[in-house]
Amino acid sequence: MIVDIDAEVMANTKLSADYNVLVLAAPDIARQARPGQFVMVKPSGSFTPLLRRPFSIFEVLRDPSGTPGAISLLNKRIGVGTTLLWDVEPAGRVLCLGPLGRPFEPVDPPAEAFMVAGGVGLAPFATLGDALIARGTRTTLFYGARRGPELLYTEWFATRGVTLALATEDGSRGDHGLVTQPLQRALAARVSSDPVALYACGPTPMMHAVWKLAAGFGRDVQVSLEPVMGCGMGGCYSCVIPIRNDGGQRHFVRSCLAGPVFNASRVVWEDLMG
Amino acid sequence: MIVDIDAEVMANTKLSADYNVLVLAAPDIARQARPGQFVMVKPSGSFTPLLRRPFSIFEVLRDPSGTPGAISLLNKRIGVGTTLLWDVEPAGRVLCLGPLGRPFEPVDPPAEAFMVAGGVGLAPFATLGDALIARGTRTTLFYGARRGPELLYTEWFATRGVTLALATEDGSRGDHGLVTQPLQRALAARVSSDPVALYACGPTPMMHAVWKLAAGFGRDVQVSLEPVMGCGMGGCYSCVIPIRNDGGQRHFVRSCLAGPVFNASRVVWEDLMG
Amino acid sequence: MLNAQCYDSLVDLSAQIGPLTLKNPLIAASGCFGYGVEYKEAVDLASLGAVCVKGLFLHEREGHRPPRIVETPAGMLNAIGLQGIGVHRFVREHLPALRDLGATTIVNVCGSTLDEYVEVTKVLSDHEGVAAVELNISCPNIKAGGIQFGCSLTGAHDVVALVKRATALPVIPKLTPNVTDVASFARVAQEAGADAVSLVNTFLAMAIDVETRRPKLSNVLGGLSGPAIRPIAVRMVWECRQAVTIPILGMGGIASGTDALEFIIAGANAVQVGTANFFDPLIWNKLVADIEDYLRRHRIERLSDLVGGVEVSAFEPAWIDS
Amino acid sequence: MLNAQCYDSLVDLSAQIGPLTLKNPLIAASGCFGYGVEYKEAVDLASLGAVCVKGLFLHEREGHRPPRIVETPAGMLNAIGLQGIGVHRFVREHLPALRDLGATTIVNVCGSTLDEYVEVTKVLSDHEGVAAVELNISCPNIKAGGIQFGCSLTGAHDVVALVKRATALPVIPKLTPNVTDVASFARVAQEAGADAVSLVNTFLAMAIDVETRRPKLSNVLGGLSGPAIRPIAVRMVWECRQAVTIPILGMGGIASGTDALEFIIAGANAVQVGTANFFDPLIWNKLVADIEDYLRRHRIERLSDLVGGVEVSAFEPAWIDS
Ligand SMILES: Cc1cc2nc3c(=O)[nH]c(=O)nc-3n(C[C@H](O)[C@H](O)[C@H](O)COP(=O)(O)OP(=O)(O)OC[C@H]3O[C@@H](n4cnc5c(N)ncnc54)[C@H](O)[C@@H]3O)c2cc1C
Ligand SMILES: Cc1cc2nc3c(=O)[nH]c(=O)nc-3n(C[C@H](O)[C@H](O)[C@H](O)COP(=O)(O)OP(=O)(O)OC[C@H]3O[C@@H](n4cnc5c(N)ncnc54)[C@H](O)[C@@H]3O)c2cc1C
Ligand SMILES: Cc1cc2nc3c(=O)[nH]c(=O)nc-3n(C[C@H](O)[C@H](O)[C@H](O)COP(=O)(O)O)c2cc1C
Ligand SMILES: Cc1cc2nc3c(=O)[nH]c(=O)nc-3n(C[C@H](O)[C@H](O)[C@H](O)COP(=O)(O)O)c2cc1C
Ligand code: FES
Ligand code: FES
């Protein structure tokens, strides 16, 4: 059931100059959340800004008994709403609606899982990583950023048993270049009959590159797309993504209902890239 | 010169369930302020609310060397803007434009001064009291509120040498009833040739009652009126007060320029009370 | 105490829209609530006065390319382009579910021609579960000079009269605010036999990204909705209330019980909530509670007694732009 | 480095409004800046492109009783009732001071009749220091059916043509947004000889206090201004830009340099700032700095090169209310 919680901010931890993690007391969302789902957050009680903002559910936090009690959001400060979520103080409150959207489909062994993250596209992979590891699936996180210090939570993934393959554009950590480089090597190292599930989230050009790379190896990718969303509930038709249907015809589907996770092979990338 | 200062909040002290005092670092306003003048405060950086709010300059605060460095505002929480000013935290900032408006005319000895305050109408009398005492003028503050705990800063006035005459509607402190009771007694105790200057600020019906009472004793009152003000600068014509001119004709004058202090005998009270 | 309690139970929120009785005056506005079914997990559709579904043509439509919305101060622009599944798929895929969920369903009907309005309405009339049709007669084509139905009095008259002849359902034209005198459109609608009028649709508007010097919407122009427009919409409802006797469904920026009451007091028999669904989708229970509370505090038994109750005795408008 | 600095010094903010050259495109809007002189202690009037003073009739006017303003989401309503000192007192009491302060003064001219517009303009023409007249032709009397000057094309034409004949000053009719097709009014104004058009005036609106069930303004109706209306005003400026060749003075909700640039890119040759004066009276230096900074960043030498620069190649508006 979708709930709207006036959630107390339990912690607001700054990770870098632009990234912070907000922990929100939202047991009813934490309990239901599946990897890749999102929440719609109201960053202000006033009409500035008017609309909510979509955020992937980053972590599901449990109390000592294992009961889910809170979720966290990985927030990148880029505009008016994300700045309000950067500034919010512990004990403050934010309205949080969810869980929403079509989740990732976690794969089981013997298949292997490749999660490919660019920047704040890391957000959906904490819960997905947890789910995959819990299934015993061998999981690698390919993770790229501009600079080394923008590679966040790598420890978190490593301690859980996720293999890391990092890349930075300035070469300060991992591969010097784009995240597609280590991914290319890993894909090349598998034979085509090795079952590998690919998941990607990040800037649209990066997801497009991942899809083209994967397609070259005959593989599909579950991508989590990030269009502007007005409502997150299927109400407004603002969030549409061009998809090719079975007949090969292009049409617009609502990303908040049919997504945010799509099979990359269905997405009409030419249109999406504009 | 009128200045607009992005003033740091140096302190926010709650005095009761609805009253607080905000100290704002605003040396250029503090230096110029005269008793009865006001500032226009922007309680929010967003468009909610859109307009500034007028506030009497409550105290002028000086550093140890006697240089004015800050002003304080006595804020009564009644709506959206005053609630924001109730909530603002020290180190926060509020835009503060001033000093504005026509001040009180402080009287010199041998004249005596009666300041009559109702509720938050106390605000202009701290600076006026200071000015009067500095001139050696014998000064009484007639001050009414609903309940005793709503009589604020009485100590402050007493230590400066202002005589207090209090009244509460529930009788918990001072006269049981309206502030006009002790005022009536004091006026009756003076002969008409005793020079007494009257100053009043409070709810319109209260100021009207003070004026009628004073007029019965052949005296005028300097009243500080509190209409809704859109700009405080004479730009919008929202703040008009009906005044009778020398010819006896009623016309509207801008309270932010011609006031907020008016001679009560000029005010067309019937119209003002609506 | 006993009296107060008895009184409490008597508060009557129902709204009469022609032959249609709504259990309360709160309607989800077209285009802001999908086809209703999307909200079934979060909102009890049966608790609403009605659900007005997204505008439907005869056939499916893809709508405009994104970006389709942009925020503005206390408002938003949209240019969705009336993406939709067409009336046939709607009656097949969603109407049964709406019926099962107990929703009172109003369908927002679109057309590129007079015939299309009639055709869509006929399809809806043939299926059970449609409570009324709302005719979206807001300037369809501003490029060709627009002013076809919504911006011309004869156009508005013809659509209503023709659709009225084709159906037994209540017919509710939805008026555009982008006209000089909206009340004249309400009057024409009443003359043409409309059971009620809805107003307002969105205000034609534009936003430009100064850095790229391109419009922020793919469609260049969009419709402004949300709290920003409320004072204009309230004025229009008030003007129409003086012009017609048929019920008015008022909307434009409603985001609280107080806002809804403002429209009702201005003259609306029922109200629609659009943009607020986006930022407060669970608003409905709060609205009902706030309105009930208001009626109790003011000792008003029937919401309908409040309709158009604004007191303007002292109305002497000379110059208003001042 | 040298180049960049040379370039810096070349940024040209001037705006040509018919025969009148403004040093920059920033004008204080009528009714939002008193008679200008009120601001002399806080704002260097000579640093503005122009000051447009409060609307003046021939004689003094008292205006409406308070309350005259009320806040709304990201906006405000006003019904001041054009309180003013009349043109004779203005030229005697304030015009000399405005001249001394170096202000470029535009006077907003009102009239209850055609003759009054002409008379007021004649008085202004006889005095030194008036740079232009702006004709406030927004529906003066909505009670008598309104639609006298601002809401009728012939009315608008007649006012402009008659005033034009009576003065050598630039004549700038100010258009109301409360019409179906504002561009047609701009066209008629140009045909009648207007040197420029100003738009928009305020949107007719209403706010009701639900507790008392009375209008919040003594005048019942008021005009909506402020950031809330900006997207509608930008659209109207854009429409007018395509309809006329004369300069446009654009306004409606401007509160930042970005907002001003949005109007300029939509087609305004100069912009007016109204409501923002109330909450940000010292806005002017910021606006100038922001616009200069923009021009430098975008390597645009003359502000005038930016006017109407919005790229709408892909404009295919079909349905907009969607
Ligand atoms: C399903 C989903 C999950 C998301 N998860 C996360 C997350 O976990 N962490 C996170 O930090 N962000 C996430 N985002 C993106 C986040 O929603 C936007 O960054 C946010 O809405 C921007 O709000 P703002 O008010 O700060 O920016 P605004 O002030 O509204 O805009 C600032 C600038 O950013 C652009 N912009 C706004 N929204 C988007 C967008 N969705 N995509 C690209 N550009 C945009 C604007 O066009 C503008 O140029 C997610 C988005 C989606 C759709
Ligand atoms: C010259 C002057 C000096 C003032 N000095 C002080 C002061 O020192 N301390 C202080 O607390 N207040 C003072 N006020 C009053 C103060 O400005 C208002 O209380 C404030 O603007 C209310 O803002 P709000 O956003 O909280 O109320 P809103 O949310 O805007 O309104 C809440 C309710 O209060 C009513 N209201 C709003 N403004 C006024 C007003 N000016 N008079 C009466 N009713 C109003 C509204 O109609 C509404 O019913 C002064 C006013 C003036 C004109
Ligand atoms: C995203 C969006 C889509 C809309 N689609 C339609 C529609 O299909 N048909 C229609 O008549 N009105 C449509 N509208 C207009 C609303 O129904 C409503 O008239 C308008 O938004 C004003 O109300 P509000 O301010 O409460 O949103 C749409 C509005 C929005 C914001
Ligand atoms: C309080 C107030 C008074 C106004 N008085 C006048 C006026 O006298 N003449 C006029 O042409 N416009 C008048 N206007 C309209 C403004 O000049 C301007 O057209 C409108 O407010 C939109 O701009 P804004 O959103 O920047 O305020 C007035 C506006 C306000 C808010
Ligand atoms: S965000 Fe509103 S339909 Fe998807
Ligand atoms: S408050 Fe604007 S003129 Fe006085």
Q: What share of chain C is helix, strand, coil (3-state, %, to 5)?
A: 35, 20, 45
Q: Are the beta carbons of A47 and B48 separated by less than 8 Å?
A: yes
Whether ligand 1 lies within 6 angstroms of the CB of A75 is answered as yes
List, for residues C97-141, the tens digit of each pLDDT value: 999 999 999 999 999 889 999 999 999 999 999 999 999 997 544
List, for residues C44-87, the tens digit of each pLDDT value: 999 999 999 999 999 999 999 999 999 999 999 999 988 999 99
The answer as to whether D303 is a domain residue is: yes
Catalytic residues of C: 139
Amino acid at C12: D
Whether ligand 2 lies within 6 angstroms of the CB of B82 is answered as yes
Cis before A260? omega within 30: yes
Find the residue in B nearest to A47 (Cα). Answer: B48
Quick one: DSSP state of residue D97?
H
| Domain that residue C164 falls in | 7-314
Whether ligand 1 lies within 6 angstroms of the CB of A228 is answered as yes
Question: Can you say how many angstroms the Cα of residue B67 is from the centroid of all Cα atoms in its chain?
Answer: 23
A32 with A101: CB under 8 angstroms? no
> B166 touching D, CB under 8 A?
no
Q: Are the beta carbons of A47 and B44 separated by less than 8 Å?
A: no
Whether ligand 3 lies within 6 angstroms of the CB of C139 is answered as no
Parallel/antiparallel/unpaired status of strands A196-201 and C214-215: unpaired
Among the listed residues C282, C87, D99, B151, the one whose alpha carbon sits nearest the alpha carbon of residue A97: C282
Token pair, residue D302, equals: 């003359």
Quick one: DSSP state of residue B150?
G
Whether ligand 3 lies within 6 angstroms of the CB of C251 is answered as yes
Residue among B32, B236, B244 with most chain D CBs within 10 A, to mutate:
B236
Long-range contact set of residues B201-204: C-beta below 8 Å, sequence gap at least 24: B201/B56, B201/B116, B201/B117, B201/B118, B201/B121, B201/B122, B201/B123, B201/B124, B201/B125, B201/B226, B202/B116, B202/B117, B202/B118, B202/B119, B202/B120, B202/B121, B202/B144, B203/B118, B203/B119, B203/B121, B204/B272, B204/B273
Q: How far is the CA of A226 from the centre of ligand 1 (A)?
A: 7
Q: How far is the CA of A128 from the centre of ligand 6 (A)?
A: 59
Q: Which of residues 212-231 of B touch D (CB under 8 A)?
A: 227-228, 230-231
| Residues contacting A208, CB < 8 A, separation 6+ | A269, A272, A273
Give chains near A: 3+ CB pairs under 8 A: B, C, D
The structural domain count of chain D equals 1
- D320 pLDDT band, cuts 50/70/90, is very low
Q: Which of residues 44-103 of B touch A (CB under 8 A)?
A: 44, 46-48
Among the listed residues B126, B98, B95, the one whose alpha carbon sits nearest the alpha carbon of residue B201: B126
Amino acid at C272: Q
* pLDDT score at D318: 47
A243 with A227: CB under 8 angstroms? no
Q: Are the beta carbons of B51 and D71 separated by less than 8 Å?
A: yes
* pLDDT score at D139: 54
Instruction: Collect all residues of chain A within an 8 Å Cβ-Cβ radius of residue C226.
Output: 47, 50
* pLDDT score at D142: 40
The answer as to whether D321 is a domain residue is: no
Torsions phi, psi for D186 (to 5 deg): -65, -40
List, for chain A, all residue ranges whose pLDDT scores fall below the cut of 70. Answer: none
Q: How many Å apart are CA C50 and CA C104, to the nearest integer?
A: 5
Shortest distance, CA A48 to any CA of chain B (angstroms):
7
CATH of the domain at D48: 3.20.20.70
Among the listed residues A52, C322, B4, the one whose alpha carbon sits nearest the alpha carbon of residue D69: C322
Contacting B with CB below 8 Å, chain C residues are 73-74
Q: Which atom of ligand 6 is nearest to the CA of D38?
A: 3
In chain A, which segments carry CATH 2.40.30.10? 3-100
Q: How many Å apart are CA D150 and CA D173, to the nearest integer?
A: 9
Counting beta carbons within 10 angstroms of the beta carbon of residue D299, is it exposed (0 to 12), middle (13 to 18) or buried (19 or more)? exposed
B100 with B256: CB under 8 angstroms? yes
pLDDT of chain B, 274 residues: tens digit per residue: 999 999 999 999 999 999 999 999 999 999 999 999 999 999 888 899 999 999 999 999 999 999 999 999 999 999 999 999 999 999 899 999 999 999 999 999 999 999 999 999 999 999 999 999 999 999 999 999 999 999 999 999 999 999 999 999 999 999 999 999 999 999 999 998 999 999 999 999 999 999 999 999 999 999 999 999 999 999 999 999 999 988 889 999 999 999 999 999 999 999 898 7
Would you call B260 helix, strand, or coil by DSSP?
Answer: strand
* pLDDT score at D151: 74
Q: Which of residues 264-293 of D touch C (CB under 8 A)?
A: 265-266
Average pLDDT over chain B reads 95
Q: How far is the CA of D223 from the centre of ligand 2 (A)?
A: 22
Token pair, residue A172, equals: 């300060």
The answer as to whether D152 is a domain residue is: yes
- Measured by CA distance, the residue closest to atom 28 of ligand 1 is A79
D33 with D42: CB under 8 angstroms? no
Among the listed residues B58, B25, B50, the one whose alpha carbon sits nearest the alpha carbon of residue B128: B58
Give chains near B: 3+ CB pairs under 8 A: A, C, D
Q: How many Å apart are CA B70 and CA B81, to the nearest integer?
A: 21
Q: What share of chain A is helix, strand, coil (3-state, %, to 5)?
A: 25, 35, 40
C179 with D180: CB under 8 angstroms? yes
Q: How many Å apart are CA B221 and CA B266, to the nearest integer?
A: 10
CATH of region A3-100, choose from 1.10.357.10, 2.50.20.10, 2.40.110.10, 2.40.30.10: 2.40.30.10
Among the listed residues D70, D82, D74, the one whose alpha carbon sits nearest the alpha carbon of residue D206: D70
For the question of an ipTM over 0.85, the answer is yes
The answer as to whether C83 is a domain residue is: yes
Among the listed residues C284, C217, C227, the one whose alpha carbon sits nearest the alpha carbon of residue C257: C284
| Residues contacting C152, CB < 8 A, separation 6+ | none
Measured over the CA atoms of residue B187, residue B189, residue B192 and residue B193, the dihedral's sign is: negative
Q: How far is the CA of C104 from the centre of ligand 3 (A)?
A: 18
Whether ligand 1 lies within 6 angstroms of the CB of A56 is answered as yes
Whether ligand 6 lies within 6 angstroms of the CB of B52 is answered as no
Quick one: DSSP state of residue C81?
-
Would you call B177 helix, strand, or coil by DSSP?
Answer: coil
Nearest to C322 among D82, D142, D232 (CB): D82
Catalytic residues of D: 139
Q: How many Å apart are CA C157 and CA D101, to the nearest integer?
A: 58
Counting beta carbons within 10 angstroms of the beta carbon of residue D157, is it exposed (0 to 12), middle (13 to 18) or buried (19 or more)? buried
Q: How many Å apart are CA D201 and CA D204, to the nearest integer?
A: 9
* pLDDT score at D135: 95
Among the listed residues C110, C129, C104, the one whose alpha carbon sits nearest the alpha carbon of residue C33: C104
CATH of region A112-272, choose from 3.30.830.10, 3.40.50.12280, 3.40.50.80, 3.40.470.10: 3.40.50.80
Q: How many Å apart are CA B101 and CA B222, to the nearest integer?
A: 14
Instruction: Collect all residues of chain D within an 8 Å Cβ-Cβ radius of residue B238.
Output: 66-69, 78, 80
Q: How many Å apart are CA B4 and CA B1, to the nearest integer?
A: 10
Q: How many Å apart are CA D86 and CA D88, to the nearest integer?
A: 6
* Tally of CA atoms within 13 A in the half-sphere of C54 that contains its CB: 26
Residue D137 has a CB neighbour count (10 Å cut-off) of 29
Measured over the CA atoms of residue B74, residue B76, residue B80 and residue B83, the dihedral's sign is: positive
* pLDDT score at C151: 74
Q: How far is the CA of A82 from the centre of ligand 1 (A)?
A: 8
List, for residues B6-45, the tens digit of each pLDDT value: 999 999 999 999 999 999 999 999 999 999 999 999 988 8
List, for residues B237-273, the tens digit of each pLDDT value: 999 999 998 888 999 999 999 999 999 999 999 989 8
Parallel/antiparallel/unpaired status of strands A221-224 and A196-201: parallel
Nearest to C312 among D72, D220, D317 (CB): D220
Q: Are the beta carbons of C232 and D320 separated by less than 8 Å?
A: no
